[in-house]
A and B are shown apart, each in its own frame.
Chain A
């Protein structure tokens, strides 16, 4: 979990960086250039498969682990307080599953359209136009779904960042609080960073 997770953590950083470029200039030319580069360069074409594999491994392993862990407690407690732990840590499978559902929608919205239709290649739409087209007032529900998913993703990351270091044994009493802090910061940056984009374009269209 930790290795695939950390890989996905890096991926999210890159993804966020590229996405935030949509805010750089009004016509999206910087974003288009970078997006085009990402879509066509050979390394990225390979990485795309690695990324897919990373996701699948992460999900498979999560399912195996969750099933095993559930089997380890055949009789549940009548009263349970979850002790003094975070909601994130107790509900990783739920937040993960929600993010997965979002991912499917997200792939249909963008990945499918870019890779399996002529939309971009034919010049009908630029990458920038495709991104912004979803976040229009008439499709308000997309924005809402996206933002809720980003919050859940943030919660998922809040636990996962420090947890992966713990699992890899790269932790001790003094680093634990630091990693927890960095993890929370990272989760906020990702959740807020991604959320800014729909909010920005929605506001832009409305105002």
Chain B
């Protein structure tokens, strides 16, 4: 198929960006979206044009590195996938595809479509862990975890930290991301000991970094490639309120 790509180009964090259009032809429907950009880039290099910079790594939907806002949706027009799993069969011959970087204050653009998501790491550094030193653990079966809790915890732990929730939210709120980690750990008996400190510290960091507040629109859940539920946000609110009230 033949397409027109309208891509955000920005030389560096400080530079002013703008959209550029690139025609591209003979794209197979079985080609993945990122492979399509590879093809474009190979052509651009041959034409002496700086290739489009974009984040990607595992290309199988698990590392969370890819991050494009395609035609108004994070990770593009398909459900429960990352951009690297998006295939060109989702588009039609002659389409114009608009590709933008994640837009959020705490995710500044580094170059073109690449944003800095270090803010996520910073939030997790402020409490997204269980304090257990190596070598001090009891036998793994000494802690009984009912199947239901283990499964719910796993549902939340499936978060890949891609930032689609922030990109989709009209408020650039990071609540789904934070709540996924809070839920993952708070649902496990091992994680309960420091659940209150964790919730307070992570929420404080999230606010400090300039993410918006949650107004429960549900856009995050709708766009999450791993189907993380907003019921985790309710759990985060519960954990947080209890932590504040019981203090």
Contact = CB atoms under 8 A, between A and B. Distances in A.
Direct contact of A and B (CB under 8 A): yes
Interface of A: 1, 65, 68-69, 71-86, 89-90, 92, 159, 162-163, 165-173, 176
Contact of B237 (A78, A85, A168): A168
A96 to B, nearest CB: 11
A73 B235 contact: no
Given A89-B217, A92-B215, A170-B234, A69 B170 contact: yes
B122 to A, nearest CB: 16
9 contacts: A65-B215, A72-B105, A73-B172, A81-B72, A163-B216, A169-B240, A172-B231, A173-B229, A176-B230
B100 interface: yes
Contact of A85 (B104, B218, B242): B218
Contacts of B170: 69, 73, 82, 90
B151 to A, nearest CB: 12
A89 B71 contact: no
A156 to B, nearest CB: 12
A73 B241 contact: no
Contacts of B8: 78
B171 A159 contact: no
B106 interface: yes
B212 interface: yes
A172 to B, nearest CB: 5
B239 interface: yes
Contacts of A73: 103-105, 170-172, 212
Nearest to A176: B231
A178 B28 CA distance: 44
B91 interface: no
B210 A71 contact: yes
B238 interface: yes
Nearest to A61: B213
B215 A81 contact: no
Q: Is the interface of A mostly helix, strand, loop or mixed?
A: loop
Q: Is the interface of B mostly helix, strand, loop or mixed?
A: mixed
B73 A72 contact: no
Contacts of B112: none
Interface string B88-108: 000000000010100111100
A176 B234 CA distance: 10
A81 B234 contact: no
A167 B231 contact: no
A176 B73 CA distance: 24
Contacts of B201: none
Q: Quick one: which of A76, A81, A163, A165 has the most chain B CB within 10 A?
A: A81
Nearest to A73: B172
Given A71-B212, A167-B214, 5 more contacts: A68-B212, A72-B212, A83-B219, A168-B238, A169-B242
Interface string B204-247: 00000011111111110011000001110111111111100000
Contacts of B218: 84-86, 89
B67 interface: no
Contacts of A72: 104-106, 171-173, 210-212
A166 B223 CA distance: 19
A171 B213 contact: no
Contact of A163 (B6, B73, B215): B215
Contacts of B216: 89, 159, 162-163, 166-167
A164 B172 CA distance: 19
A90 B216 CA distance: 9
Nearest to A79: B72
Interface string B1-33: 000001010000000000100000000000000
Contact of A69 (B168, B172, B238): B172
B37 to A, nearest CB: 17
Contacts of B171: 69, 72-73
A48 to B, nearest CB: 29
B69 interface: yes
Q: Quick one: which of B100, B173, B211 has the most chain A CB within 10 A?
A: B100
